[in-house]
Chains A and B, each alone.
Chain A
Amino acid sequence: MLRAAGKYRQAFLLGLQGSLVYRWNFAVRGFFSLFHLAAVFILWGAAFAGREQVGGFDLRQTLTYFTTILFLQFLISAFNEDYQISEEIRQGLINQFLLKPINYFLYRLSIFAAARLVSGALILLPLAVAYPFIHEALSFPSEPWRLAAAVPALFLSALVQFTIAYCFGLMTFWFLEIQGLVVLSMAVEAVLGGQIFPLDLLPPALHAVARFLPFYYQMYFPAAILTGRIGPTETAEGLALQASWVVLLLLLAHALWVRGLRRHTAVGG
Protein backbone atom coordinates (compact mmCIF):
# COMPACT_ATOMS: atom_id res chain seq x y z
CA MET A 1 0.00 0.00 0.00
CA LEU A 2 2.76 2.40 1.04
CA ARG A 3 4.87 1.39 -1.96
CA ALA A 4 1.91 2.07 -4.23
CA ALA A 5 1.41 5.48 -2.61
CA GLY A 6 5.11 6.18 -3.17
CA LYS A 7 4.73 5.62 -6.92
CA TYR A 8 1.96 8.19 -7.21
CA ARG A 9 3.79 10.55 -4.88
CA GLN A 10 6.64 10.52 -7.41
CA ALA A 11 4.16 11.12 -10.25
CA PHE A 12 2.73 14.03 -8.24
CA LEU A 13 6.22 15.51 -7.75
CA LEU A 14 6.95 15.09 -11.47
CA GLY A 15 3.68 16.84 -12.26
CA LEU A 16 4.60 19.62 -9.86
CA GLN A 17 7.93 20.17 -11.65
CA GLY A 18 6.23 20.05 -15.05
CA SER A 19 3.61 22.61 -13.99
CA LEU A 20 6.17 24.94 -12.44
CA VAL A 21 7.94 25.10 -15.83
CA TYR A 22 4.74 26.69 -17.18
CA ARG A 23 4.18 28.93 -14.13
CA TRP A 24 4.34 32.10 -16.23
CA ASN A 25 1.71 30.80 -18.63
CA PHE A 26 -0.57 30.04 -15.66
CA ALA A 27 0.19 33.45 -14.17
CA VAL A 28 -0.51 35.30 -17.43
CA ARG A 29 -3.70 33.30 -17.85
CA GLY A 30 -4.64 34.22 -14.30
CA PHE A 31 -4.09 37.93 -14.91
CA PHE A 32 -6.10 37.84 -18.14
CA SER A 33 -8.93 36.16 -16.26
CA LEU A 34 -9.23 39.44 -14.34
CA PHE A 35 -10.51 40.93 -17.61
CA HIS A 36 -13.22 38.27 -17.57
CA LEU A 37 -14.02 39.20 -13.99
CA ALA A 38 -14.18 42.89 -14.96
CA ALA A 39 -16.57 42.01 -17.81
CA VAL A 40 -18.77 40.06 -15.38
CA PHE A 41 -18.83 42.94 -12.87
CA ILE A 42 -19.75 45.46 -15.60
CA LEU A 43 -22.44 43.30 -17.23
CA TRP A 44 -24.16 42.22 -14.01
CA GLY A 45 -23.73 45.68 -12.51
CA ALA A 46 -25.70 47.05 -15.49
CA ALA A 47 -28.30 44.25 -15.24
CA PHE A 48 -28.88 45.04 -11.53
CA ALA A 49 -29.17 48.82 -12.11
CA GLY A 50 -32.31 50.03 -10.34
CA ARG A 51 -33.05 46.59 -8.80
CA GLU A 52 -32.34 45.15 -5.40
CA GLN A 53 -32.39 41.52 -6.48
CA VAL A 54 -32.19 39.30 -9.55
CA GLY A 55 -33.42 35.73 -9.08
CA GLY A 56 -33.59 36.19 -5.30
CA PHE A 57 -29.96 37.33 -4.87
CA ASP A 58 -28.48 40.81 -4.66
CA LEU A 59 -25.60 42.17 -6.74
CA ARG A 60 -22.92 41.46 -4.12
CA GLN A 61 -24.01 37.83 -3.80
CA THR A 62 -23.95 37.45 -7.59
CA LEU A 63 -20.49 39.01 -7.95
CA THR A 64 -19.22 36.83 -5.08
CA TYR A 65 -20.51 33.80 -6.98
CA PHE A 66 -18.58 34.71 -10.15
CA THR A 67 -15.38 35.51 -8.22
CA THR A 68 -15.63 32.11 -6.51
CA ILE A 69 -16.20 30.41 -9.88
CA LEU A 70 -13.05 32.07 -11.22
CA PHE A 71 -10.99 30.77 -8.29
CA LEU A 72 -12.47 27.28 -8.64
CA GLN A 73 -11.67 27.21 -12.35
CA PHE A 74 -7.99 27.38 -11.45
CA LEU A 75 -8.26 25.15 -8.39
CA ILE A 76 -10.31 22.15 -9.54
CA SER A 77 -11.12 22.38 -13.22
CA ALA A 78 -9.52 20.21 -15.93
CA PHE A 79 -7.45 22.39 -18.29
CA ASN A 80 -6.04 20.22 -21.07
CA GLU A 81 -5.81 16.82 -19.40
CA ASP A 82 -8.07 15.29 -22.09
CA TYR A 83 -5.72 16.54 -24.80
CA GLN A 84 -2.62 15.23 -22.99
CA ILE A 85 -4.17 11.77 -22.57
CA SER A 86 -5.29 11.81 -26.20
CA GLU A 87 -1.76 12.66 -27.37
CA GLU A 88 -0.27 9.87 -25.25
CA ILE A 89 -2.61 7.37 -26.88
CA ARG A 90 -2.11 8.74 -30.39
CA GLN A 91 1.66 8.83 -30.18
CA GLY A 92 1.91 5.42 -28.51
CA LEU A 93 3.44 6.90 -25.32
CA ILE A 94 0.78 5.05 -23.37
CA ASN A 95 2.52 1.75 -24.19
CA GLN A 96 5.09 2.30 -21.45
CA PHE A 97 2.32 2.37 -18.83
CA LEU A 98 0.98 -0.97 -20.05
CA LEU A 99 4.30 -2.61 -19.25
CA LYS A 100 4.76 -1.07 -15.78
CA PRO A 101 2.98 -1.81 -12.51
CA ILE A 102 1.25 1.55 -12.50
CA ASN A 103 -2.41 2.46 -12.78
CA TYR A 104 -2.75 4.98 -15.63
CA PHE A 105 -5.82 6.68 -14.09
CA LEU A 106 -4.06 7.23 -10.74
CA TYR A 107 -0.87 8.36 -12.51
CA ARG A 108 -2.80 10.95 -14.50
CA LEU A 109 -4.84 11.96 -11.43
CA SER A 110 -1.59 12.59 -9.50
CA ILE A 111 -0.33 14.87 -12.28
CA PHE A 112 -3.72 16.64 -12.40
CA ALA A 113 -3.59 17.25 -8.63
CA ALA A 114 -0.08 18.74 -8.94
CA ALA A 115 -1.09 21.00 -11.83
CA ARG A 116 -4.14 22.31 -9.96
CA LEU A 117 -2.07 22.93 -6.85
CA VAL A 118 0.19 25.21 -8.92
CA SER A 119 -2.60 26.94 -10.88
CA GLY A 120 -4.77 27.26 -7.74
CA ALA A 121 -1.89 28.96 -5.92
CA LEU A 122 -1.04 31.22 -8.87
CA ILE A 123 -4.61 32.54 -9.29
CA LEU A 124 -4.35 33.89 -5.73
CA LEU A 125 -1.81 36.40 -7.03
CA PRO A 126 -4.10 38.27 -9.46
CA LEU A 127 -6.99 37.91 -7.00
CA ALA A 128 -4.83 39.52 -4.31
CA VAL A 129 -4.05 42.38 -6.72
CA ALA A 130 -7.76 42.80 -7.49
CA TYR A 131 -8.89 42.42 -3.87
CA PRO A 132 -8.59 46.10 -2.83
CA PHE A 133 -10.83 47.04 -5.77
CA ILE A 134 -13.44 44.30 -5.44
CA HIS A 135 -13.65 43.43 -1.75
CA GLU A 136 -16.54 45.82 -1.10
CA ALA A 137 -18.51 44.08 -3.86
CA LEU A 138 -18.11 40.67 -2.21
CA SER A 139 -20.24 39.13 0.50
CA PHE A 140 -19.62 35.57 1.70
CA PRO A 141 -22.06 33.89 4.07
CA SER A 142 -20.73 33.28 7.57
CA GLU A 143 -22.23 29.84 8.43
CA PRO A 144 -19.34 27.50 9.37
CA TRP A 145 -21.14 24.39 8.01
CA ARG A 146 -20.63 25.76 4.50
CA LEU A 147 -16.85 25.43 4.76
CA ALA A 148 -17.18 21.92 6.18
CA ALA A 149 -19.51 20.88 3.33
CA ALA A 150 -17.43 22.64 0.68
CA VAL A 151 -14.33 20.51 1.39
CA PRO A 152 -15.83 17.16 0.26
CA ALA A 153 -17.81 18.94 -2.48
CA LEU A 154 -14.59 20.47 -3.89
CA PHE A 155 -12.77 17.15 -3.71
CA LEU A 156 -15.62 15.34 -5.51
CA SER A 157 -15.94 18.20 -8.05
CA ALA A 158 -12.27 17.83 -8.93
CA LEU A 159 -12.84 14.08 -9.40
CA VAL A 160 -15.87 14.71 -11.64
CA GLN A 161 -13.88 17.27 -13.67
CA PHE A 162 -10.88 15.01 -14.07
CA THR A 163 -12.82 11.82 -14.80
CA ILE A 164 -14.88 13.51 -17.54
CA ALA A 165 -11.65 14.83 -19.12
CA TYR A 166 -10.09 11.36 -18.73
CA CYS A 167 -13.06 9.72 -20.50
CA PHE A 168 -12.82 12.24 -23.35
CA GLY A 169 -9.08 11.51 -23.62
CA LEU A 170 -9.81 7.76 -23.85
CA MET A 171 -12.15 8.40 -26.79
CA THR A 172 -8.95 8.56 -28.85
CA PHE A 173 -9.02 4.75 -28.85
CA TRP A 174 -12.03 5.12 -31.18
CA PHE A 175 -11.54 8.53 -32.85
CA LEU A 176 -8.22 9.86 -34.11
CA GLU A 177 -9.12 13.49 -33.41
CA ILE A 178 -11.10 14.40 -30.27
CA GLN A 179 -10.34 18.10 -29.96
CA GLY A 180 -13.59 19.12 -31.66
CA LEU A 181 -15.62 16.91 -29.31
CA VAL A 182 -13.76 18.32 -26.30
CA VAL A 183 -14.41 21.96 -27.23
CA LEU A 184 -18.03 21.09 -27.98
CA SER A 185 -18.42 19.54 -24.55
CA MET A 186 -16.70 22.57 -22.99
CA ALA A 187 -19.60 24.74 -24.18
CA VAL A 188 -22.12 22.36 -22.57
CA GLU A 189 -20.05 22.11 -19.38
CA ALA A 190 -19.62 25.90 -19.19
CA VAL A 191 -23.39 26.46 -19.31
CA LEU A 192 -24.58 23.51 -17.22
CA GLY A 193 -21.65 23.90 -14.81
CA GLY A 194 -22.79 27.42 -13.96
CA GLN A 195 -19.73 29.22 -15.34
CA ILE A 196 -21.75 31.51 -17.64
CA PHE A 197 -24.55 32.37 -15.20
CA PRO A 198 -25.75 30.94 -11.85
CA LEU A 199 -27.92 27.93 -12.65
CA ASP A 200 -30.65 29.11 -10.26
CA LEU A 201 -31.45 31.85 -12.81
CA LEU A 202 -32.63 29.20 -15.28
CA PRO A 203 -36.37 28.50 -15.55
CA PRO A 204 -37.27 26.20 -12.59
CA ALA A 205 -37.93 23.13 -14.78
CA LEU A 206 -34.52 23.41 -16.49
CA HIS A 207 -32.81 24.03 -13.16
CA ALA A 208 -34.43 20.89 -11.74
CA VAL A 209 -33.15 18.83 -14.70
CA ALA A 210 -29.65 20.37 -14.44
CA ARG A 211 -29.41 19.19 -10.80
CA PHE A 212 -29.38 15.59 -11.96
CA LEU A 213 -26.61 16.07 -14.54
CA PRO A 214 -22.90 15.64 -13.71
CA PHE A 215 -22.02 19.13 -15.00
CA TYR A 216 -23.92 20.71 -12.07
CA TYR A 217 -21.36 19.10 -9.75
CA GLN A 218 -18.32 20.25 -11.71
CA MET A 219 -18.41 23.87 -10.59
CA TYR A 220 -21.82 25.23 -9.66
CA PHE A 221 -22.41 22.99 -6.65
CA PRO A 222 -19.30 23.85 -4.58
CA ALA A 223 -19.61 27.53 -5.62
CA ALA A 224 -23.27 27.55 -4.56
CA ILE A 225 -22.37 26.07 -1.16
CA LEU A 226 -19.58 28.61 -0.56
CA THR A 227 -21.61 31.62 -1.68
CA GLY A 228 -24.89 30.80 0.03
CA ARG A 229 -27.00 30.01 -3.02
CA ILE A 230 -28.20 26.67 -1.60
CA GLY A 231 -29.28 25.60 1.88
CA PRO A 232 -28.29 22.64 4.09
CA THR A 233 -30.94 20.19 2.75
CA GLU A 234 -30.02 20.84 -0.88
CA THR A 235 -26.33 20.56 0.04
CA ALA A 236 -26.79 17.17 1.70
CA GLU A 237 -28.81 15.85 -1.26
CA GLY A 238 -26.26 17.32 -3.63
CA LEU A 239 -23.33 15.62 -1.90
CA ALA A 240 -25.08 12.26 -2.26
CA LEU A 241 -25.82 12.89 -5.95
CA GLN A 242 -22.29 14.13 -6.52
CA ALA A 243 -20.80 11.00 -4.95
CA SER A 244 -23.10 8.87 -7.13
CA TRP A 245 -21.87 10.67 -10.25
CA VAL A 246 -18.25 10.10 -9.20
CA VAL A 247 -18.90 6.36 -8.89
CA LEU A 248 -20.73 6.23 -12.24
CA LEU A 249 -18.00 8.20 -14.00
CA LEU A 250 -15.26 6.01 -12.50
CA LEU A 251 -17.10 2.92 -13.76
CA LEU A 252 -17.43 4.52 -17.19
CA ALA A 253 -13.72 5.43 -17.23
CA HIS A 254 -12.81 1.85 -16.30
CA ALA A 255 -15.07 0.40 -19.02
CA LEU A 256 -13.62 2.78 -21.65
CA TRP A 257 -10.07 1.86 -20.60
CA VAL A 258 -10.69 -1.90 -20.79
CA ARG A 259 -12.58 -1.74 -24.11
CA GLY A 260 -10.20 0.86 -25.55
CA LEU A 261 -7.15 -1.27 -24.82
CA ARG A 262 -8.72 -4.11 -26.81
CA ARG A 263 -8.67 -1.81 -29.85
CA HIS A 264 -5.22 -0.41 -29.14
CA THR A 265 -2.26 -1.53 -31.21
CA ALA A 266 1.21 -0.90 -29.81
CA VAL A 267 3.76 -0.48 -32.60
CA GLY A 268 7.55 -0.12 -32.35
CA GLY A 269 10.20 -1.34 -29.98
Chain B
Amino acid sequence: MSAFAHHFRVWVASARYSLTRALMFRGDFVIWSLVELFWMGVNLLLVEVIYRHTDSIAGWSRPEMLLLLGTSLLIQRLLMGFFWSGLYDLGRNVRNGHLDFFLAQPGSVMFMVSTRKLDPDGLVNSVVALGLVVYAAGELGLRPSPGQLALYALLVGCGLVIHYSVLMLSTASVFWLTSAQGVEGGYFSLIEFSRMPREAFRGAAEVIFVWLLPVVVVSNAPARVLLHGFEPAWALGLAGFAALWLGLAVIVFHRGLRRYASASS
Protein backbone atom coordinates (compact mmCIF):
# COMPACT_ATOMS: atom_id res chain seq x y z
CA MET B 1 0.00 0.00 0.00
CA SER B 2 1.42 3.39 -0.94
CA ALA B 3 2.25 5.94 1.76
CA PHE B 4 -0.49 8.19 0.40
CA ALA B 5 -3.16 5.47 0.62
CA HIS B 6 -1.97 4.56 4.12
CA HIS B 7 -2.21 8.15 5.35
CA PHE B 8 -5.58 8.56 3.68
CA ARG B 9 -6.91 5.50 5.55
CA VAL B 10 -5.56 6.93 8.82
CA TRP B 11 -7.25 10.27 8.07
CA VAL B 12 -10.59 8.56 7.29
CA ALA B 13 -10.39 6.68 10.62
CA SER B 14 -9.64 9.95 12.49
CA ALA B 15 -12.47 11.76 10.69
CA ARG B 16 -14.92 8.96 11.54
CA TYR B 17 -13.87 9.16 15.20
CA SER B 18 -14.30 12.96 15.23
CA LEU B 19 -17.77 12.74 13.67
CA THR B 20 -18.86 10.09 16.17
CA ARG B 21 -17.59 12.30 18.97
CA ALA B 22 -19.49 15.31 17.58
CA LEU B 23 -22.68 13.25 17.53
CA MET B 24 -22.11 12.24 21.16
CA PHE B 25 -21.75 15.89 22.24
CA ARG B 26 -24.47 17.43 20.07
CA GLY B 27 -24.96 20.44 22.38
CA ASP B 28 -21.28 21.36 22.04
CA PHE B 29 -21.49 20.96 18.28
CA VAL B 30 -24.45 23.35 18.09
CA ILE B 31 -22.83 25.93 20.41
CA TRP B 32 -19.49 25.94 18.57
CA SER B 33 -21.23 26.09 15.19
CA LEU B 34 -23.10 29.17 16.47
CA VAL B 35 -19.85 30.65 17.80
CA GLU B 36 -18.24 30.46 14.35
CA LEU B 37 -21.40 31.71 12.68
CA PHE B 38 -21.53 34.71 15.03
CA TRP B 39 -17.91 35.63 14.35
CA MET B 40 -18.53 35.39 10.62
CA GLY B 41 -21.53 37.65 11.19
CA VAL B 42 -19.27 40.16 12.97
CA ASN B 43 -17.07 40.42 9.84
CA LEU B 44 -20.10 40.77 7.63
CA LEU B 45 -21.52 43.49 9.86
CA LEU B 46 -18.26 45.47 9.64
CA VAL B 47 -18.47 45.46 5.84
CA GLU B 48 -22.15 46.46 5.92
CA VAL B 49 -21.49 49.32 8.37
CA ILE B 50 -18.59 50.72 6.33
CA TYR B 51 -20.61 50.57 3.10
CA ARG B 52 -23.45 52.47 4.81
CA HIS B 53 -21.08 55.43 4.68
CA THR B 54 -19.05 54.84 1.52
CA ASP B 55 -19.46 53.31 -1.95
CA SER B 56 -16.03 51.83 -2.37
CA ILE B 57 -13.04 50.52 -0.44
CA ALA B 58 -9.87 50.75 -2.54
CA GLY B 59 -12.02 50.57 -5.67
CA TRP B 60 -13.99 47.50 -4.54
CA SER B 61 -17.79 47.75 -4.43
CA ARG B 62 -19.89 46.18 -1.63
CA PRO B 63 -20.67 42.90 -3.47
CA GLU B 64 -17.02 42.60 -4.56
CA MET B 65 -15.97 43.06 -0.95
CA LEU B 66 -18.50 40.41 0.13
CA LEU B 67 -17.02 38.03 -2.44
CA LEU B 68 -13.56 38.66 -0.98
CA LEU B 69 -14.83 38.28 2.58
CA GLY B 70 -16.66 35.05 1.70
CA THR B 71 -13.52 33.62 0.11
CA SER B 72 -11.39 34.58 3.09
CA LEU B 73 -13.92 33.06 5.51
CA LEU B 74 -14.21 29.92 3.38
CA ILE B 75 -10.45 29.29 3.59
CA GLN B 76 -10.41 30.05 7.29
CA ARG B 77 -13.38 27.76 8.06
CA LEU B 78 -11.75 24.93 6.10
CA LEU B 79 -8.61 25.44 8.19
CA MET B 80 -10.69 25.37 11.37
CA GLY B 81 -12.52 22.26 10.21
CA PHE B 82 -9.54 20.22 9.11
CA PHE B 83 -6.53 21.37 11.14
CA TRP B 84 -7.23 23.84 13.99
CA SER B 85 -7.93 21.39 16.84
CA GLY B 86 -4.87 19.27 16.04
CA LEU B 87 -2.54 22.26 15.87
CA TYR B 88 -4.07 23.86 18.95
CA ASP B 89 -3.41 20.64 20.88
CA LEU B 90 0.17 20.52 19.60
CA GLY B 91 1.19 23.38 21.88
CA ARG B 92 -0.26 21.61 24.92
CA ASN B 93 1.07 18.18 23.92
CA VAL B 94 4.65 19.40 23.58
CA ARG B 95 4.45 21.03 27.01
CA ASN B 96 3.03 18.04 28.85
CA GLY B 97 4.78 15.27 26.92
CA HIS B 98 1.68 13.85 25.26
CA LEU B 99 3.39 14.25 21.91
CA ASP B 100 4.96 10.87 22.67
CA PHE B 101 1.63 9.34 21.63
CA PHE B 102 2.01 10.78 18.12
CA LEU B 103 5.65 9.76 17.80
CA ALA B 104 4.62 6.15 18.39
CA GLN B 105 2.03 6.17 15.59
CA PRO B 106 2.70 4.55 12.20
CA GLY B 107 2.99 7.58 9.92
CA SER B 108 4.40 11.06 9.43
CA VAL B 109 4.36 12.86 12.81
CA MET B 110 3.43 16.19 11.19
CA PHE B 111 0.51 14.54 9.39
CA MET B 112 -0.68 12.74 12.53
CA VAL B 113 -0.44 15.87 14.66
CA SER B 114 -2.31 17.98 12.10
CA THR B 115 -5.13 15.64 11.15
CA ARG B 116 -5.90 13.85 14.41
CA LYS B 117 -9.11 15.81 14.93
CA LEU B 118 -11.74 17.08 12.54
CA ASP B 119 -14.10 19.90 13.62
CA PRO B 120 -17.49 19.42 11.95
CA ASP B 121 -18.65 22.87 13.15
CA GLY B 122 -15.91 24.56 11.10
CA LEU B 123 -16.88 22.49 8.06
CA VAL B 124 -20.59 23.32 8.48
CA ASN B 125 -19.73 27.03 8.49
CA SER B 126 -17.54 26.66 5.40
CA VAL B 127 -20.84 25.94 3.62
CA VAL B 128 -22.20 29.24 4.99
CA ALA B 129 -19.07 31.05 3.75
CA LEU B 130 -19.52 29.43 0.34
CA GLY B 131 -23.12 30.66 0.44
CA LEU B 132 -21.81 34.20 0.92
CA VAL B 133 -19.55 33.79 -2.13
CA VAL B 134 -22.49 32.53 -4.22
CA TYR B 135 -24.69 35.43 -2.99
CA ALA B 136 -22.01 38.01 -3.82
CA ALA B 137 -21.41 36.46 -7.25
CA GLY B 138 -25.17 36.65 -7.87
CA GLU B 139 -25.25 40.34 -6.84
CA LEU B 140 -22.42 41.02 -9.27
CA GLY B 141 -24.16 39.06 -12.05
CA LEU B 142 -21.13 36.79 -12.47
CA ARG B 143 -21.49 33.62 -14.55
CA PRO B 144 -18.14 31.83 -14.00
CA SER B 145 -17.13 29.11 -16.47
CA PRO B 146 -16.33 25.56 -15.24
CA GLY B 147 -12.64 26.39 -15.78
CA GLN B 148 -12.94 29.48 -13.56
CA LEU B 149 -14.69 27.45 -10.87
CA ALA B 150 -12.02 24.74 -10.99
CA LEU B 151 -9.27 27.37 -10.74
CA TYR B 152 -11.11 29.08 -7.87
CA ALA B 153 -11.26 25.74 -5.99
CA LEU B 154 -7.57 25.12 -6.69
CA LEU B 155 -6.56 28.55 -5.41
CA VAL B 156 -8.74 28.17 -2.32
CA GLY B 157 -6.80 24.93 -1.75
CA CYS B 158 -3.50 26.85 -2.11
CA GLY B 159 -4.85 29.42 0.35
CA LEU B 160 -5.67 26.63 2.79
CA VAL B 161 -2.09 25.32 2.48
CA ILE B 162 -0.70 28.80 3.24
CA HIS B 163 -3.02 29.31 6.25
CA TYR B 164 -2.07 25.87 7.55
CA SER B 165 1.64 26.61 7.11
CA VAL B 166 1.46 29.97 8.89
CA LEU B 167 -0.49 28.43 11.78
CA MET B 168 1.95 25.50 11.97
CA LEU B 169 4.91 27.92 12.03
CA SER B 170 3.26 29.90 14.86
CA THR B 171 2.40 26.78 16.86
CA ALA B 172 5.76 25.04 16.27
CA SER B 173 7.36 27.91 18.19
CA VAL B 174 6.32 25.91 21.26
CA PHE B 175 9.37 23.69 20.72
CA TRP B 176 11.54 26.71 21.52
CA LEU B 177 9.28 28.86 23.74
CA THR B 178 7.54 26.15 25.87
CA SER B 179 4.29 28.09 25.60
CA ALA B 180 2.90 29.14 22.23
CA GLN B 181 0.03 31.07 23.83
CA GLY B 182 0.04 34.57 22.44
CA VAL B 183 2.20 33.50 19.49
CA GLU B 184 -0.75 31.49 18.13
CA GLY B 185 -2.66 34.77 18.33
CA GLY B 186 -0.26 36.06 15.69
CA TYR B 187 -2.01 33.89 13.15
CA PHE B 188 -5.38 35.48 13.94
CA SER B 189 -3.85 38.96 13.73
CA LEU B 190 -2.45 38.20 10.29
CA ILE B 191 -5.61 36.76 8.75
CA GLU B 192 -7.35 40.10 9.25
CA PHE B 193 -5.37 41.30 6.22
CA SER B 194 -6.81 38.54 4.03
CA ARG B 195 -10.22 40.26 4.16
CA MET B 196 -8.91 43.41 2.51
CA PRO B 197 -8.44 44.25 -1.18
CA ARG B 198 -4.85 44.19 -2.36
CA GLU B 199 -5.29 47.75 -3.72
CA ALA B 200 -5.68 49.06 -0.15
CA PHE B 201 -2.01 48.31 0.60
CA ARG B 202 0.55 50.99 -0.16
CA GLY B 203 4.21 51.61 0.72
CA ALA B 204 5.64 49.56 3.57
CA ALA B 205 2.30 47.80 4.15
CA GLU B 206 2.39 46.56 0.55
CA VAL B 207 5.93 45.20 0.95
CA ILE B 208 5.14 43.44 4.24
CA PHE B 209 1.63 42.11 3.75
CA VAL B 210 1.55 41.53 0.00
CA TRP B 211 5.10 40.46 -0.82
CA LEU B 212 6.79 39.23 2.39
CA LEU B 213 3.78 37.63 4.11
CA PRO B 214 1.24 35.96 1.80
CA VAL B 215 -1.75 37.15 3.83
CA VAL B 216 -3.32 39.33 1.16
CA VAL B 217 -2.89 37.20 -1.98
CA VAL B 218 -4.30 34.19 -0.14
CA SER B 219 -7.90 35.37 -0.61
CA ASN B 220 -7.45 38.06 -3.27
CA ALA B 221 -6.13 35.58 -5.86
CA PRO B 222 -9.16 33.22 -5.79
CA ALA B 223 -11.63 36.14 -5.58
CA ARG B 224 -10.03 37.75 -8.63
CA VAL B 225 -10.48 34.52 -10.61
CA LEU B 226 -14.25 34.90 -10.25
CA LEU B 227 -14.13 38.65 -10.88
CA HIS B 228 -11.60 38.91 -13.70
CA GLY B 229 -10.93 35.35 -14.94
CA PHE B 230 -7.52 33.68 -15.14
CA GLU B 231 -4.63 36.03 -14.31
CA PRO B 232 -1.40 33.99 -14.55
CA ALA B 233 0.62 36.26 -12.24
CA TRP B 234 -1.91 35.92 -9.40
CA ALA B 235 -2.55 32.16 -9.84
CA LEU B 236 1.09 31.17 -10.21
CA GLY B 237 2.13 33.58 -7.48
CA LEU B 238 -0.28 31.99 -5.00
CA ALA B 239 0.76 28.44 -5.95
CA GLY B 240 4.42 29.43 -5.54
CA PHE B 241 3.73 31.02 -2.14
CA ALA B 242 1.87 27.85 -1.05
CA ALA B 243 4.81 25.60 -1.95
CA LEU B 244 7.30 27.96 -0.29
CA TRP B 245 5.40 28.33 2.99
CA LEU B 246 4.55 24.62 3.24
CA GLY B 247 8.24 23.81 2.73
CA LEU B 248 9.16 26.27 5.46
CA ALA B 249 6.56 24.81 7.85
CA VAL B 250 7.86 21.25 7.23
CA ILE B 251 11.46 22.31 7.91
CA VAL B 252 10.64 24.28 11.06
CA PHE B 253 8.36 21.56 12.47
CA HIS B 254 11.02 18.85 12.02
CA ARG B 255 13.77 21.08 13.43
CA GLY B 256 11.52 21.69 16.42
CA LEU B 257 10.77 18.01 16.77
CA ARG B 258 14.47 17.33 17.23
CA ARG B 259 14.39 19.56 20.32
CA TYR B 260 11.45 17.67 21.83
CA ALA B 261 12.64 15.81 24.92
CA SER B 262 9.31 14.43 26.17
CA ALA B 263 8.08 15.32 29.67
CA SER B 264 7.56 11.92 31.20
CA SER B 265 9.71 10.73 34.08
Which A residues are closer than 8 A to B by beta carbons? 24-26, 28-29, 32-33, 35-36, 38-39, 42-43, 45-49, 51, 54-55, 177, 180-181, 183-184, 187-188, 190-191, 196-197, 201-203
Chain B residues whose C-beta falls within 8 Å of the C-beta of A38 in the assembled complex: 205, 209
Complex: A230 Cα to B169 Cα, angstroms = 44
Among the listed B58, B181, B189, B205, which residue makes an inter-chain contact with A36, where contact means beta carbons less than 8 Å apart?
Answer: B189
> Number of contacting residues on B, CB 8 A?
36
Q: Given contacts A46-B200, A188-B38, are A197 and B28 in contact (CB under 8 A)?
A: no
B135 to chain A, nearest CB (A): 21
Nearest first, the 6 A-B pairs at minimum CB distance are A180-B31, A35-B189, A46-B200, A187-B38, A28-B182, A39-B192
B102 to chain A, nearest CB (A): 24
Cross-chain contact B38 with A184 (CB below 8 angstroms)? yes
A39 to chain B, nearest CB (A): 4
Cross-chain contact B182 with A32 (CB below 8 angstroms)? yes
Q: Given contacts A43-B196, A45-B200, A46-B197, are A26 and B35 in contact (CB under 8 A)?
A: no
Cross-chain contact B193 with A197 (CB below 8 angstroms)? no
Chain B residues whose C-beta falls within 8 Å of the C-beta of A43 in the assembled complex: 50, 57, 196, 200
> Which residue of chain B has its CB nearest to the CB of A188?
B38
Binds A, one of B41-49, B145-153, B236-244: B41-49
Cross-chain contact B182 with A29 (CB below 8 angstroms)? yes
Cross-chain contact B34 with A201 (CB below 8 angstroms)? no
Cross-chain contact A35 with B58 (CB below 8 angstroms)? no
Among the listed B183, B193, B200, which residue makes an inter-chain contact with A28, where contact means beta carbons less than 8 Å apart?
Answer: B183
Q: Tell me whether chain B's interface is mostly helix, strand or loop, or mixed.
A: helix
> Which residue of chain A has its CB nearest to the CB of B194?
A39
Cross-chain contact A26 with B53 (CB below 8 angstroms)? no
5 contacts between A and B (CB under 8 A): A32-B186, A35-B192, A39-B189, A180-B32, A187-B42
Chain A residues whose C-beta falls within 8 Å of the C-beta of B196 in the assembled complex: 39, 42-43, 46
Among the listed A35, A202, A203, which residue makes an inter-chain contact with B190, where contact means beta carbons less than 8 Å apart?
Answer: A35
Chain A residues whose C-beta falls within 8 Å of the C-beta of B57 in the assembled complex: 43, 46-47
A35 to chain B, nearest CB (A): 4
Chain B residues whose C-beta falls within 8 Å of the C-beta of A203 in the assembled complex: 52
Q: Given contacts A35-B189, A46-B58, A47-B54, are A177 and B28 in contact (CB under 8 A)?
A: yes
Chain A residues whose C-beta falls within 8 Å of the C-beta of B35 in the assembled complex: 180, 183-184, 187
Among the listed A25, A29, A54, A187, which residue makes an inter-chain contact with B53, where contact means beta carbons less than 8 Å apart?
Answer: A54
Among the listed A26, A36, A47, A183, which residue makes an inter-chain contact with B192, where contact means beta carbons less than 8 Å apart?
Answer: A36
Chain B residues whose C-beta falls within 8 Å of the C-beta of A202 in the assembled complex: 49
Residue B234, interface by CB 8 Å: no
Complex: A190 Cα to B185 Cα, angstroms = 17
Q: Per-residue 0/1 for B181-215: is the Cβ within 8 Å of any A Cβ (1 yes, 0 no)?
A: 11101100110110011011100010001000000
Chain A residues whose C-beta falls within 8 Å of the C-beta of B42 in the assembled complex: 187, 190-191, 196
Complex: A197 Cα to B199 Cα, angstroms = 22
Residue B85, interface by CB 8 Å: no
Complex: A51 Cα to B57 Cα, angstroms = 11
Chain A residues whose C-beta falls within 8 Å of the C-beta of B45 in the assembled complex: 191, 196-197
B234 to chain A, nearest CB (A): 20
Cross-chain contact A55 with B58 (CB below 8 angstroms)? no
Cross-chain contact B54 with A51 (CB below 8 angstroms)? yes
Give 10 new A-B contacts, CB below 8 A, not counting A29-B182, A51-B54, A202-B49: A28-B183, A32-B186, A32-B189, A35-B192, A42-B193, A46-B57, A180-B34, A184-B34, A184-B38, A196-B46
Residue B14, interface by CB 8 Å: no
Cross-chain contact A197 with B182 (CB below 8 angstroms)? no
Chain A residues whose C-beta falls within 8 Å of the C-beta of B54 in the assembled complex: 47-48, 51, 54
Residue B179, interface by CB 8 Å: yes
Chain B residues whose C-beta falls within 8 Å of the C-beta of A197 in the assembled complex: 45-46, 49-50
B54 to chain A, nearest CB (A): 5
Complex: A32 Cα to B188 Cα, angstroms = 9
Cross-chain contact B185 with A29 (CB below 8 angstroms)? yes
Chain A residues whose C-beta falls within 8 Å of the C-beta of B4 in the assembled complex: none
B230 to chain A, nearest CB (A): 26
A61 to chain B, nearest CB (A): 14
Among the listed A24, A35, A196, which residue makes an inter-chain contact with B186, where contact means beta carbons less than 8 Å apart?
Answer: A35
B239 to chain A, nearest CB (A): 25
Complex: A184 Cα to B50 Cα, angstroms = 23
Complex: A181 Cα to B28 Cα, angstroms = 10
Chain B residues whose C-beta falls within 8 Å of the C-beta of A42 in the assembled complex: 193, 196, 200-201, 205
Chain B residues whose C-beta falls within 8 Å of the C-beta of A201 in the assembled complex: 49-50, 52-53
Cross-chain contact A55 with B53 (CB below 8 angstroms)? yes
Q: Per-residue 0/1 for B14-58: is the Cβ within 8 Å of any A Cβ (1 yes, 0 no)?
A: 000000000000001001101100110110011001101110111
Q: Given contacts A187-B42, A188-B38, A201-B53, are A26 and B182 in contact (CB under 8 A)?
A: yes
